[in-house]
Chain A
């Protein structure tokens, strides 16, 4: 963490520990440099408490204008780099201006913090929660220390969860009816369904089901839309005949999915789609896209 100090010779070592650090679940998170690190996991309404420890290097003293710890919820748009938008900002003053000569520990606590949004790491946008410790100094720049958190929020089982059922086709060429058992899936869910072939006049090579993520950022003219295909799952091999029905069973667990995010702080949205693709023998593609809602279900209730 010391790299943040740049060229300055570090005067002290700042570390942040959580009070329940040993028991708290940690989840892997991809960092900017591509590596994955384990990061503690929090949920909304959790109490975030711990200690900040300032340990001056030997023989050095740290002069400061105050020590504070902040809990920040930030949205970062990549095309607008450096421009963070803090949607949450909580501050605890830990020390009044003074000097630190030896190791000093400050307990802190943010009780039942409202963290409405989940951590998200997208193509164009990032939402993160971070604990930021600032040792304010007048002349040589403040000493900053960050601790990332991951926030995940469980959603309750949806009250209404209709199946998706639709008939599509190209006149006199292909008529199919597909059905997915739900419109809302949790992240470890399995998509079950059936594709009925009502009319088949083309020779098919295969049929795939794709999971696509559509991330839109910004607003108005500045909207950026990024679509990724996260899963490509072959459903069928060869050409069916009329009246055939092909089963669909897609486990979502192996894929790196997030819940659907709608209009997070008016900054971005993340939506998921099921895309049914039929490929004929001339490699023409016929597809139909349906939105599904993904949500996070509390682990122990999700099988």
Chain B
């Protein structure tokens, strides 16, 4: 309804404007000054309406504005015809109504300025002063906007022409400043008119008008004469005075942004304290972070764009000024939510990182200020603030791409303390990911310690925190990060490295049952790597006191892995023990190796009950044991005996069989002459064959028909025989092999074994080896046999 009326009134006004404009044009065409003035005044009277919304009023204004262009040209011509411009200037002021009078005055004033037969600044002064008469906010705003518009293109030339005439220059400046001030006052005043119910609507309307005000600042920035000195001494203080004093949220917010965007970077830099000094004085509801962030972003870009600018930043101590200002703002705005203040610090931090990337102390200071601020609010609970903090803490990470640098920031962990568990963990993930992504090496134990302190959200559960909803996959992923991380903790110096390992261990062991299986392996392997290095280097260069002896480290590992068995991950523990044993073996520490084996065996006996797991475990044990060189005969016998025993006690026969023939390897070490016990090898194989026989019988009995299992077992055995034959085990005789082959052949004849391809390739291999030159064919001569007859 109201909108309809609005539309109607606008239409009526438009018609009237059109009509009067027509008459005005006609008067102009016939050079009738009097009528031209009369009709233009009538046309302008339409702008006196109070009925239109700002939006519609703007439409009307634009229409009139276009018509006034013709009038301006006419005035210009009129002065050419001998009518003095001073007379015209007076003549238009005879109009009875203020608004048309002032529009006409501005129009003729702009002509007057151009004609240059008068002191321009007097006219400017007069115009801006006379415009005071319109106190109605909307109409005044548009009138002054018109004034700014018609004088705009004339101002810069004035300033440049008046070069050297400082006074006049100042006057032109004064003109714009004053017009700006007055416009802003009017603009602000709009807010306080009408009922409070329509507050929002008014704000919207005002927002539509804001560019009218802002344009003045733009004009100011375009004035040629405005150098840094003038800007600092006159322009900025005047603008800020107005901004601060108007006490209007919308205006302050918009104008601060305008100032920042409109004037050159260098000016901002040189007047930082003034500009920043204004910030705490703004209304508490002003979104100051947007303002400051805009400024800091601009200056950051400025710093980034030109290298010459950087010394200026230092010279004006931009950082400390910002830091101080933000502190003040936070202090002044009591109601500022935590998220807000954190955002402010975030922007400051970004700025600092951009501009002073080499000044870690500054970065730390920002963090410190943030801590001080947070200490007042306590732990952060709201999401927004937490998000901001994460961004805040991530900023230096992203900048330096190096956690080691971050570790130097003493306040970094202090900030993290204010995070809730969830966020802390998220932050920890970010930190760890950063390390992984950038492949950062953290190379001292102290740093590692500090680092784990940062990442503790990932490393351990928080006291009293019960997270039921942890997604298992996510959890694993996270812990994988930790595991990968361990490998980035690295130092070439073994001494330091061992310290690192001690530190890592200390932290990782706090992880609790869910984390340990995922993290300990990484630690173990990292340690093993060190051991290998130690062994490769000089024999214990540090003396016995050093922590970096393989023995000590192994001892440590033993304890570490033990933690795993407590958390029901025996498979893993077993593997790790074996790994350690291997390392110990390489270091020729017999007792230690033995110890590890013992532990592995104990685990096997006590914890591993699943038969599949047993098979795997056993294989691992056998494999590892086979490689052990450090044992004396006695120890080795005990261990091999045990292993063979385990093999025979597996649940399923085929598994037994396989395990047993694997055990054969325990008696045969290729490169070690005193570990070639051909007899026991054959014994083992025979025993395996017996088990295979048993399997064969059992399957025949149970099904009466075919079974692939046992034939396959035979073929496998055959392969084992061939292997040892090749290795030169003299106890492996052609007869044994032949009889086994015979057996296989008869079995395959009986039933479809399903193992043909295996058999065939074995045969082909035999054939191939036989035709080889050298010793191999000799060995194979013994087992010449007719297969297919």
Give every chain A residue within 8 A of B48 (Cβ-Cβ).
237
Minimum distance in angstroms from A201 CB to a CB of chain B: 13
Residues in A neighbouring B133, C-beta threshold 8 A: 235-237, 246-247
Chain B min CB distance to A271 (Å): 23
Write out the residue numbers on chain B whose beta carbons fall within 8 Å of the beta carbon of A249: 93, 130
Tell yes or no: A154 within 8 A of B by CB.
no
Known contacts A206-B98, A247-B129: does B134 contact A237 (CB below 8 Å)? Answer: yes
Say yes or no: A254 contacts B94, CB within 8 Å.
yes
Q: Does A251 contact B (CB under 8 A)?
A: yes
Q: Which residues of A contact B210 (CB under 8 A)?
A: none
Cβ < 8 Å to B, chain A residues 127-169: none
- In the complex the two chains form, is B90's CB within 8 Å of A233's CB? no
Complex Cα–Cα for A245 and B182 (A): 12
Is B99 in contact with chain A by the CB < 8 A criterion? yes
Minimum CB–CB distance for B133 against chain A, Å = 5
Q: CB-CB < 8 A to A98: which residues of B?
A: none
Say if the beta carbon of B96 comes within 8 Å of chain A: yes
Partner of B94, one of A232, A235, A237, A251: A251
B135 touches A233 (CB 8 A): no
Q: Mark A230-271, 1 if CB is under 8 A from B, else 0.
A: 011111111111001111010101100000000000000000
Q: In the complex, are the beta carbons of A234 and B97 less than 8 A apart?
A: yes
- Contact A251 to B90, CB < 8 A, known contacts A236-B134, A237-B135: yes
CB distance from B112 to the nearest CB of A (A): 15
Q: How far is the CB of B764 from chain A (nearest CB, A)?
A: 108
Query: Chain A interface mostly helix, strand, loop or mixed?
Result: strand
Residues of chain A within 8 A (CB-CB) of B134 are 236-238
The answer to whether the Cβ of B137 comes within 8 Å of any Cβ in the partner chain is: yes
Q: How far is the CA of A249 from the CA of B135 in the complex (A)?
A: 16
CA A249 to CA B102, docked complex, whole Å: 12
Asked if B665 lies at the interface with its beta carbon under 8 angstroms from chain A, I say no
Q: Which residues of the other chain, B, contact A246 by a CB distance below 8 angstroms? A: 132-133, 135
Q: Bound state CA distance, A240 and B189, in angstroms?
A: 10
Q: In the assembly, what is the distance between CA of A236 and CA of B101, in Å? A: 11
Closest to A248 in B: B133
Would B96 and A238 count as touching, CB distance under 8 A? no
A114 to B132, CA, bound (A): 49
Asked if A234 and B98 make an inter-chain contact with CB atoms under 8 angstroms apart, the answer reads yes
Contact with A along B130-150 (1 / 0, CB 8 A): 101111110110000000000
Near A by CB (< 8 A), chain B positions 663-706 give none
Given contacts A238-B140, A251-B94, contact A245 B132 (CB under 8 A): yes
A235–B136 Cα gap in the complex (Å)? 12
Contact string against A for B residues 1-18, beta-carbon threshold 8 Å, 1 for contact and 0 otherwise: 000000000000000000
Chain A residues, CB < 8 A from B129: 247
Measured in the bound complex, the distance between the Cα atoms of B131 and A235 in whole Å is 10
Tell me the nearest residue of chain A to B185, going by C-beta. Answer: A241
A245 to chain B: which residues have CB within 8 Å? 132
Number of B positions contacting A (CB below 8 A):
21
**Are the CB atoms of A238 and B132 closer together than 8 Å?**
no
Most buried by A among B48, B134, B135: B135
Within 8 A of A (CB), among B157-176: none
Q: B94, A238: Cβ atoms under 8 Å? A: no
B residues near A232, Cβ cutoff 8 Å = 96
Chain A residues contacting B189 (CB-CB under 8 Å) are: 241
* CB of B559, distance to nearest CB on chain A (Å): 82
Shortest A243–chain B CB gap in Å is 10
Residue from A231, A233, A237, A253 within 8 A of B136 (CB atoms): A237
Nearest CB in chain B: distance from A36 CB, A? 18
Is the CB–CB distance between A237 and B132 below 8 Å?
no
The residue among A234, A240, A254 with the most chain B CB atoms within 10 A of its own CB is: A234
User: Closest Cβ of chain B: how far from A248's Cβ, in Å?
Assistant: 9
Q: Which of A234, A238, A251, A254 has the most CB of B within 10 A?
A: A238
Closest A residue to B90 using CB positions = A251
Across-interface contacts of A234 in B (CB, < 8 A): 96-99, 101
Contact between chains at A238 and B137 (CB < 8 Å): yes
Q: Which of B94, B135, B137, B185 contacts A236 (CB 8 A)?
A: B135
Near A by CB (< 8 A), chain B positions 187-211 give 189
Q: From residue A280, how far is it (CB to closest CB) to chain B in Å?
A: 13
Q: Do A233 and B132 contact each other (CB < 8 Å), given the known contacts A238-B140, A241-B189, A251-B90?
A: no
B96 near A240 (CB under 8 angstroms)?
A: no
- For window 104-149 of B, CB contacts with A under 8 Å fall at 129-130, 132-137, 139-140
Which A residues are CB-close (under 8 A) to B101?
234
CB distance from B317 to the nearest CB of A (A): 39
Q: A244 to B135, Cβ gap below 8 A? A: yes
The distance in angstroms between the C-alpha atoms of A247 and B101, with both chains bound, is: 13
Cα separation A254 to B41 with both chains bound (whole Å): 16
A49 to chain B, nearest CB (A): 37
Cβ B90 vs Cβ A237 within 8 A: no
Asked whether B130 lies within 8 Å of A233 as measured between CB atoms, the reply is: no
**Complex CA distance for A240 and B140, rounded to whole angstroms:** 11
> A204 to B193, alpha carbons, bound, how many Å?
12
Which chain A positions have C-beta within 8 A of B93? 249, 251
Docked Cα-Cα span, A231 to B95, in Å, equals 11
Assembly CA distance A249 to B230 (angstroms): 33
B96 close to A233 (CB less than 8 A): yes
CB distance from A9 to the nearest CB of B (A): 47
- Known contacts: A241-B189, A247-B130, A249-B130. The answer to whether A235 contacts B135 by CB under 8 A is no
| Given A244-B135, A251-B94, A254-B94, A237 and B99 contact (CB-CB distance below 8 Å) | yes
Q: Closest CB of chain A to B513's CB: distance in Å? A: 73
A238 → chain B, closest Cβ, in Å? 3
Which residues in B have their C-beta under 8 angstroms from that of A253?
Answer: 90, 94
CB of A255 to closest CB in B, whole Å: 9
Query: What B residues does A238 contact at CB under 8 A?
Result: 134-137, 139-140
A246 to B131 CA separation, bound complex (whole angstroms): 9
Q: A237-B48, A237-B139, A238-B140 are in contact. Are A244 and B132 (CB under 8 A)?
A: yes
Within the assembled complex, what's the spacing in Å between the Cα atoms of A53 and B400?
Answer: 115
- Docked pose: A237 CA to B139 CA in angstroms: 8
User: Complex formed: what's the CA distance from A206 to B48 in Å?
Assistant: 11
In Å, the complex CA distance between A233 and B93 comes to: 10
Residues of chain B within 8 A of A233, CB atoms compared: 96
A247 and B134 alpha carbons, distance in the complex (Å): 10
Known A234-B96, A235-B98, A251-B93; judge A240-B135 contact (CB<8 A). yes
**Interfacial chain A residues near B137, Cβ < 8 Å:** 238
Nearest Cβ distance between residue A199 and chain B, in whole angstroms? Answer: 15
Cα distance A246–B99 in the bound complex, in angstroms: 14
The verdict on A239 contacting B136 (CB below 8 Å), with A247-B129, A247-B130 known, is yes
Q: Which residue of A lies closest to B139 (CB)?
A: A237
- Assembled-state Cα–Cα distance A231/B101 (Å): 15
- Residue numbers in B under 8 Å from A244 (CB-CB): 132, 135
Binary flags per residue of A190-218, CB closer than 8 Å to B gives 1, else 0: 00000000000000101000000000000
Chain B 325-348 interface mask (CB, 8 Å, partner A; 1/0):
000000000000000000000000
CA gap between A244 and B93 in the complex, in Å: 22
- Give the shortest distance, in Å, between B537 (CB) and chain A (any CB): 86
Docked pose: A204 CA to B50 CA in angstroms: 13
Q: Which residues of A contact B140 (CB under 8 A)?
A: 237-238
Q: Which residues of chain A are near B135, meaning CB under 8 Å? A: 204, 236-241, 244, 246
Give the CA-CA distance A204 to B135 in the complex, in Å.
10
* Cα A254 to Cα B99 with chains together (Å): 19
Least Cβ–Cβ distance between B469 and chain A, in angstroms = 59
User: Which chain B positions have C-beta within 8 A of A240?
Assistant: 135
A8 to B112, CA, bound (A): 64
**Are A237's CB and B96's CB within 8 A?**
no
Q: Nearest chain-B residue to A250 (Cβ)?
A: B93
Residue contacts A-B, CB under 8 angstroms, 6 given: A231-B96, A234-B99, A236-B98, A238-B136, A249-B93, A251-B94
Smallest CB-CB A-B distances: 10 pairs? A238-B136, A238-B135, A234-B98, A240-B135, A254-B94, A237-B134, A234-B97, A237-B136, A236-B133, A237-B98
User: Contacts A234-B97, A247-B130 given; 8 further ones with Cβ under 8 A?
Assistant: A206-B98, A233-B96, A237-B136, A238-B136, A238-B137, A239-B136, A247-B132, A251-B93
